[in-house]
Structure 1
Amino acid sequence: MAKVTLDRLRKVYPNGYVGVADASFQIEDGELLVLVGPSGCGKSTLLRMVAGLETISEGELRIGERRVNEVAPKDRDIAMVFQSYALYPHMSVAENLGFGLKLRGAGKAEIAERVGAAAAMLELEPLLQRKPAALSGGQRQRVALGRALVRQPQVFLLDEPLSNLDAKLRMGMRVEIARLHRQLGTTMIYVTHDQIEAMTLGHRIVVMKQGHIQQIDTPMALYERPVNLFVATFLGSPKMNTLSGRVDERGDGLVSRVAEGIELPLPASGALADTLRGYVGRELIVGLRPEHLRPAAPGAATLATRVEVVEPVGNEAFLNLRCGRDEIVVRLPPYDLPKVGDELHLAYEAERMHFFDPVSELALGRG
């Protein structure tokens, strides 16, 4: 096991495109860290730089105390699991699991011992004599994990390993990977575009956009205290609702006029209120997560909306609503739901509101 340190790591391609810009953070020994972001954000590029499959343009990379910028991938003591299973079709599961050890000159007894331990951990023992063509997608993915596992590396690198699986298998494999990490205690870096995978697996999450790191924190800290609008709307399913409105003074307080006749009262005291007073006469983005909105009596409502789509999904329902010029989603229990076209008055949890500058998109107060 080892910690991994990235110090101002950059990847610049010959045409001048910056794939990764100044990535600086440390993955602790035994930590499971997730790199997450949309396609093209640089997360896989960063992982491949750690693996040695992508050259480093600037900065320093250390695994343990050793600088590895120019060290060949095979000498970095890492194991990588790709989106593609990349199994040898003519080999049995046992042969696939032990092939890397065989190439490194390990003896038959050592190979058998490690393959047996990995197969037991991943429940592959009944499948050891099968060929990959006789395995399901989930079984193939477990073999790919096992092949990395038998190496007993300092660091595991996983590049979207579950993206080829259906939803049910993905859920099962997420549990498998979390259990595997807990048993091994090995440092893992996991890349995904799926924010649910990121939230459920990561001890910490690195959120990336266009090659730049946006925020690094624990899953719930990112969810509750995003530093900008991108992080706020990327993490969470359904995503955070955003309402744009002009800030006005009303008596001793402030409101954000999000539509004609629809005003959101803003915090009236404290440091945040002082910040928001600087937005009087200007636009402000207000964020509210779907679970922080609820139906209210018409007289007590703060938001008047109209139902456009109702999505019951079993244990809950999502209501897609129109509020002035904005669309919002509410998460509700699946009982006594309104119908399409109904007017729905909503109350909200004021202490759960988020505020963002419309130009910089930085969070105000909570980030």
Structure 2
Amino acid sequence: MAEVRLEHVRKVYPQGGHVAIADASFTVADGERLVLVGPSGCGKSTLLRMIAGLESITSGTLRIGERVVNDVAPKDRDIAMVFQSYALYPHMTVAENLSFALQLRKLPVAEITTRVGQAAEMLGLDSMLERKPAQLSGGQRQRVALGRALVRQPQVFLLDEPLSNLDAKLRAGMRAEIARIHARTGTTMIYVTHDQVEAMTLGQRIVVMKDGVVQQIDTPMTLYRNPANLFVATFLGSPAMNTVEGLLALDDGPVLVLADGQRVRLDGARLPSGLPRKVVAGIRPEHLAVAADGQAMLSATVDTVEPVGNEVFVNLRMGAVLLVARLPPEEAPVEGRALGLTLRAPEVLFFDPASGERLPG
């Protein structure tokens, strides 16, 4: 097990000068499970491949443990990587796939047998050791790929979108499996995904990236409740945070004046300084609720209703503004009807419309 430390790591591709990683500096603690998340093309997989040694580092310093590994070959970094594709040897059995890397290292047969047995037991592969990959389901193949990394007992696990080929039910099960593996092994783990639900459920801390730039690093719930900017606020959360542009002013209490003149009272909101000022107000779907008679803070028209079992997502129109509310199923409104809503004003976040940065309040 080892700490992984990046100090002003930068990746620029010579052809065209594309900056894939601008200036990444963070530390993955010994035994931590850290997730890199962001949209496609944000640089998260490039960053993981740099840690693995599969991409060169243009500038900056990368340490695994106390060792600078910028120019160390991948095989000498004591890491194990699990890719999006299972990359199993089709002509080998599960046991042979699990043991192949250990055989290449010429470990004693008894130790190889012990390690393979431990990994198979941990991953529920005991009864499948004599099968070949073609006889396995997608989830079983992914467990073999994880087991192949486990048997190596590396200092650091690197996982590059390992669940993206699985269906939703298998993904949920494998997320729990990975968390259990990490709890049992205590090995430092860096996990890449574009799926924000995966990031929130798996990460002890999350690194949010956009266009090669680290936007914010923190625990899942801190990122959700206190995003540093509008990108982080809208990227994390499903459905995404509602964003409403307007003029925030004081008129016998705080009020958000929309472009069409509508006024939304925000009594109790945590206000930024320098009012009046233009802002983007961020409202989580769960912070909207159906208003009792005479209590509505805003009115909108129900566009569509999406029932998902224990809750419904209600798509609303408020003039030119689109909103989503997360409501209990018994409060599902009728499409096309006007709906009065309240919102939890103390939970509303405010962002600068030009920079996207969060406005403290």
For the criterion TM > 0.5, the same-fold answer is yes
Contact 2:290 2:331 in 1 (8 A): no
Q: Distance in 2 between matches of 1:273 and 1:90?
A: 64
Q: Distance in 1 between matches of 2:65 and 2:248?
A: 51
Q: Distance in 2 between matches of 1:276 and 1:202?
A: 37
Contact 1:259 1:323 in 2 (8 A): no
Please tell me whether residue 312 in structure 1 is matched to residue 307 in structure 2: yes
Output one character per residue of 1:124-174: Cα deviation in whole Å (capped at 9) or x when no partner.
Answer: 000000000000000000000000000000000000000000000000000
Amino acid at match of 1:355: F
Name the structure 1 match of 2:200.
199
Amino acid at match of 1:21: A
Please give the residue correspondences for 1:198-347 in structure 2 after superposition, counting only pairs within 5 Å: 198-251=199-252, 253-258=253-258, 260=260, 262-266=262-266, 273=271, 275-277=273-275, 280=276, 282-347=277-342
Name the structure 2 match of 1:88.
89
Name the structure 2 match of 1:168.
169
Name the structure 2 match of 1:149.
150
Give the superposition deviation at 1:43: 0.3
Name the structure 2 match of 1:13.
13
Name the structure 1 match of 2:3.
3
Q: Distance in 1 between matches of 2:42 and 2:267?
A: 35
Contact 2:62 2:69 in 1 (8 A): yes
Q: Distance in 2 between matches of 1:336 and 1:178?
A: 36
Give the superposition deviation at 1:335: 1.3
Q: Distance in 1 between matches of 2:343 and 2:52?
A: 46
Q: Distance in 2 between matches of 1:276 and 1:184?
A: 51
Name the structure 2 match of 1:35.
36
Q: Distance in 1 between matches of 2:163 and 2:325?
A: 29
Q: Distance in 2 between matches of 1:147 and 1:273?
A: 53
Give the superposition deviation at 1:326: 1.3
Give the superposition deviation at 1:338: 1.1
1:274/1:29 Cα in 2 relative to 1: closer, same or farther (>3 Å)? closer
Q: Distance in 2 between matches of 1:268 and 1:181?
A: 42
Q: Distance in 2 between matches of 1:274 and 1:19?
A: 34
Task: Tell me the percent identity.
Answer: 65
1:8/1:26 Cα in 2 relative to 1: closer, same or farther (>3 Å)? same
Contact 2:57 2:70 in 1 (8 A): yes
Please tell me whether residue 349 in structure 1 is matched to residue 324 in structure 2: no
Matched residue SS, 1:181: helix
The more displaced of 259-268 and 51-60 is 259-268
Give the superposition deviation at 1:259: 5.1
Q: Distance in 1 between matches of 2:258 and 2:97?
A: 59
Matched residue SS, 2:172: helix
Give the superposition deviation at 1:36: 0.2
Matched residue SS, 2:301: strand
Q: Distance in 2 between matches of 1:268 and 1:339?
A: 30
Aligned residues: 360
Q: TM-score, normalised by structure 1?
A: 0.96
Q: Distance in 2 between matches of 1:256 and 1:50?
A: 46
Q: Distance in 2 between matches of 1:199 and 1:230?
A: 16
Q: Distance in 2 between matches of 1:360 and 1:68?
A: 36
Contact 1:262 1:304 in 2 (8 A): no
Q: Distance in 2 between matches of 1:119 and 1:133?
A: 18
Unaligned segments of structure 2, at least 5 residues: none
Matched residue SS, 1:275: coil
Give the superposition deviation at 1:111: 1.0
Q: Distance in 2 between matches of 1:176 and 1:119?
A: 13
Q: Distance in 2 between matches of 1:44 and 1:276?
A: 41
Name the structure 1 match of 2:132.
131
Unaligned segments of structure 1, at least 5 residues: none
Contact 1:259 1:324 in 2 (8 A): no
Amino acid at match of 2:319: G
Give the superposition deviation at 1:204: 0.3
Give the superposition deviation at 1:250: 1.4
1:177/1:268 Cα in 2 relative to 1: closer, same or farther (>3 Å)? closer
Amino acid at match of 2:255: V
Give the superposition deviation at 1:104: 1.0
Output one character per residue of 1:226-283: Cα deviation in whole Å (capped at 9) or x when no partner.
Answer: 00000000000001001111234413x33111254531234679xx535151xx2x42
Q: 1:359 aligns with which of 343, 354, 358?
A: 354
Contact 1:262 1:302 in 2 (8 A): no
Q: Distance in 2 between matches of 1:211 and 1:257?
A: 36
1:259/1:298 Cα in 2 relative to 1: closer, same or farther (>3 Å)? farther
Amino acid at match of 1:169: L
Q: Distance in 2 between matches of 1:325 and 1:248?
A: 20
CA RMSD of aligned residues (A): 1.3
Matched residue SS, 2:245: strand
Give the superposition deviation at 1:324: 1.9
Output one character per residue of 1:9-48: Cα deviation in whole Å (capped at 9) or x when no partner.
Answer: 0000012100001100000000000000000000000000
Amino acid at match of 1:17: H
Please tell me whether residue 102 in structure 1 is matched to residue 100 in structure 2: no
Q: TM-score, normalised by structure 2?
A: 0.97
Contact 1:79 1:157 in 2 (8 A): yes
